[in-house]
Structure 1
Amino acid sequence: MNQKIARVLLASAPVLLIGGAVAGAALRPPAGADPLAAPQLIAPAFAAPPPAAQPMQEGRALWVNRWDYGSAATIRQVMQNAKRANFNIVYFQVRGPWDARYPSRLDPCSPRLCDRLGGVPSWDPLEVAVREAHARGLQLHAWINGLSGWESNNGATCRGLRPSAPGQPNHVLVDHPEWAMHTRAGRPMACPNGEEYVYLSPAHAGVRTHLARVAADIVRRYPVDGIHLDRIRYPGAEFGWDRAALAQFGRDPAANPRDWSQFRRDLVSRMVRETHDSIHAVRKVPLSAAVWPIYDRTRFGWTASSSGIAQFFQDTWGWAQGGYLDVAVPMTYFYVADERCSYRPRRPGQDPNPDWDCMVADHVAGMRPSGRHVYAGVLAGLGRDEMARQVRIGRQRGVNGFSFYFYSSLAELNAFGFLGDGVFREPAVPPRMNWLE
């Protein structure tokens, strides 16, 4: 799928006949031939033109996070650069810690848009992004976070969680502090903490329903081309001991560790399915998700790494086989290792590097039974040569596309022309998803 289709240029020439006759001339049999026999035509000097070349099908997505834009002008620049690099999809983040970077009646306005949580927006970044993307032939998928409830990096951020302005929706943790995920000790996650966010527990029906409503509301109100989920996982295996979860499980987690893990895994899967179904009740647009780069570390014998399915309760392949995930986008933000499927530092003193090639090939194999797609994650910060190398290897492994993290990193590398004139030289369209038709 990565080879260019050459255009065939046909020169104008007459069709030759037996005896040298041309089209429109009288037909005479050659000397010595039966005068009653039908004249025979020589094969044409050129073939009929082939059907029009079909565009290459390859997803080329660009993650644009909530720090990458701050005005309509910056959004226009984002889309111009994405087009220059021959991307065809933009994952545009409009929801971070359960706040909105667009006018919403469900989530409070983000402080990054309204200067305070729950203010009144003066403009609509999502409307601008959709318009500017479509004007350049780009798909725009709304990127929304799943279970990351509120940023918890420092005390100032934590103090920003407060009631909204009159007439604006409150943050769910203001109205429902009991929805916060609990630790093994049975206490709600603190703020600040070392997990970036105070996560929400999918054991609460209200948490699942709220995400589904937000996704459906975006699809109903904006002509987006898809929904992209992120943070649709637990922060780790030591979380989930809230009252709602324990009551539903009905057993002692310590005495039933496997079932307890499966129970939490099923809650996340249910959340994805309910979000998918709510979207499709409005319009059948694809649902993609940024997922953990290692589905199951035991498949490689890696003991020091974390698995999406075991440590974060994220069953990506199960979502696809269930028919409620269209594209898995593994966050494979690592180098291609010198030795395939190794898990060693590339240089002395560096952190271990799980092999990009091995992880991507594993996701392709795991998603193949469902027929759903894989867009391999590429970390722009690894440099131009590594990005190009990963695109070439990914095509060999049979991925359906790529997703680059993230816009600002590519801008710092001035890499849009590098991609558009290099591995993305040939324009492409996102792969067809026949199951949505």
Structure 2
Amino acid sequence: MRKIIAAALAAAFFITGCSAELPVRSSSTAQVSESVPQEVQQKYVPLNYKEQVGMWLPYVRFPEYMQGRSEEQFRKEVGELLDDAAAESVNTVYFHAHPMGDAYYSSDIYPRGEFLDGNYDPLAIVVEEAHKRGISVHGWINPLRLQTDEQLRALPEDYIIKKWIAAGEPFVKLVNGRWYLDPAYPETVELLRETAAEILGKYDVDGLHIDDYFYPTTDEEFDREAFELSGEPDLADWRRDNVSRFVKVLYDTVKSFDRELLFGISPQGNIDSDYNSQFADVRRWAGEEGFCDYIVPQIYFGFNNESSPFLTVLDQWEELAQGSEVSLVIGLAPYKLGREDKWAGAAAELEWINDPDIITKQIAAVKESSADGYALYY
């Protein structure tokens, strides 16, 4: 993974500076006056930046530097990864603490993730090593996605999801072999609140981050019973309200711990798909106060993409966030470098192979835009 980061970032990060500011309290944990009482100094001061240069640390990469590693080996690998990132201006990492009904941290709610086979706490180590380097850490959770049916059968019977299934509760639904929380119910929203509170209460993270796992299907059967009981006239609007409700609860939970902590959302890059397929009301979240501090659309498209060319989509998100207090951070996809893009259309299938400077050019475009920063997925 270090080689991937070094190769992609070396070309990308010579461009710095963005226009607007993220809500921040401090850019350093060391700026504490000697006159402040000791008990106040002991309270952690969130570390966040006005110009966010983010990087996701996803669970799909955990086998490379977590699985089969001792605590010392994991710490060394994480330190080297963060050194590479810091050297190229990354100031914020989103660590995958809760990918799919599991935990890569010390949890009283969820079973440990399958790639964590050592006796240590990955999130605690990432927070410690990142803060040593002046890097902000946002705990990244997938709100609704759970284990596959096969994975679930191997877990303890006292796991709350298994207890709900055994009791015939409607709070979780099986879709194509994987279980998902149904956000229509207060019980599932409360579980999400407890998840956020557990991470925020145990760790000196600087924020919380969710990505694009909202409704897993448009099938009306997924939540027909709850919709009929709701008395609401429109299924799509009702679903969007359900998602916005738990997003609001997560935001409020983050702010209940510290107003200076940040809550961010990373939806798909296609605004219409967010709204109509996943029932994620990104216009509302980016336009109204109280849903998020920053939004990171995954604009994982090349310049020549036939249906969603990068510059067009970037313009759409700029327009959506215009005049808002919510910061716009553009998600970019260096993981695509050197790969065929089968969904981009015939004219753009080989763009990520033929143009090794595509990420550099996209960062330049972000710099010229009204966006507040960018984040990279490897």
Instruction: Quickly name the TM-score band, shorter chain normalised.
Output: 0.7 to 0.9
Q: Alpha carbons of 1:231 and 1:2: their partners in 2 closer, same or farther (altered >3 Å)?
A: closer
Cα deviation digits, residues 353-399 of structure 1 (max 9, x gap):
51111112211211223221111111003434011000001111211
Number of positions where the alignment pairs a residue of Structure 1 with one of Structure 2:
302
Matched with 1:127 is 124
Q: Deviations over 1:81-109 (max 9, x none)?
A: 11121100001101111110111001121
> Relative to structure 1, is the Cα distance of residues 3 and 163 closer, same or farther in structure 2, using a 3 angstrom cutoff?
closer
AA aligned to 1:61 is G
TM-score relative to the length of structure 1 = 0.64
CA displacement, residues 312-352 of structure 1 (integer Å, 9 cap, x when unaligned): 10012212314221111111111012xxxxx62xxxxxxxx
Q: Which runs of 5+ in 2 are unaligned?
A: 1-14, 19-48, 67-73, 338-355
Task: Please point out which of 264, 273, 278 is paired with 1:288.
Answer: 264
Report the TM-score, using the length of structure 2 for normalisation.
0.74
Within a 5 Å distance, the mapping from 1:31-110 to structure 2 comes to 57-69=50-62, 70=66, 71-110=74-113
DSSP-derived class of the 2:364 partner = helix
For 2:146, the equivalent position in structure 1 comes to 149
Structure 1 residue 180: Cα displacement: 5.7
| Equivalent AA in structure 2 for residue 273 of structure 1 | K
| 3-state SS, counterpart of residue 112 of structure 1 | coil
Q: Which runs of 5+ in 1 are unaligned?
A: 5-55, 115-120, 152-157, 183-187, 192-196, 297-306, 338-342, 345-352, 407-437
Q: When you count helix as a share of all residues, which structure comes out higher? A: 2
Letter in 2 for 1:292: Q
Percent same amino acid among aligned pairs? 25
AA aligned to 2:56 is W
In the alignment, is residue 189 of structure 1 matched against residue 172 of structure 2? no
Pick closer, same or farther for the CA change 1:173–1:265 going to 2, 3 Å. Answer: farther
Query: Which of 153, 159, 166 matches 1:170?
Result: 159
Contact 1:108 1:171 in 2 (8 A): no
Q: How does 1:229-268 map to 2 (within 5 A)?
A: 229-239=210-220, 241-242=222-223, 245-250=226-231, 256=233, 259-268=234-243
Amino acid at match of 1:309: Y
SS of aligned partner of 2:271: coil
Which structure's CA Rg is the greater one?
Answer: 1
Quick one: structure 1 residues 268 and 173, their matched pair in 2 at CA, closer, same or farther if it must change by over 3 Å?
farther
> Which amino acid letter does the alignment assign opposite residue 313 of structure 1?
F
Matches of 2:200 and 2:147, distance apart in 1: 24
Report how far residue 267 of structure 1 moved.
0.1
Contact 2:136–2:206 (CA<8 Å) still a contact in 1? yes
Judging changes above 3 Å, is the alpha-carbon distance between structure 1 residues 61 and 233 closer, same or farther for their aligned structure 2 residues? same
1:326 aligns with 2:329: no
Paired amino acid for 1:68: R
Contact 2:17 2:51 in 1 (8 A): no
Distance 1:181 1:130 in 2: 32
Q: State the shift of 1:210 in Å.
A: 0.7
CA distance in 2, matches of 1:248, 1:356: 42
Pairwise CA RMSD: 2.4
Question: Could you tell me which of 198, 217, 225 is aligned with 1:217?
Answer: 198
**Partners of 1:240 and 1:230 in 2: how far apart?**
24
2:229, 2:357 → 1: CA distance? Answer: 50
Counterpart code for 1:405? Y
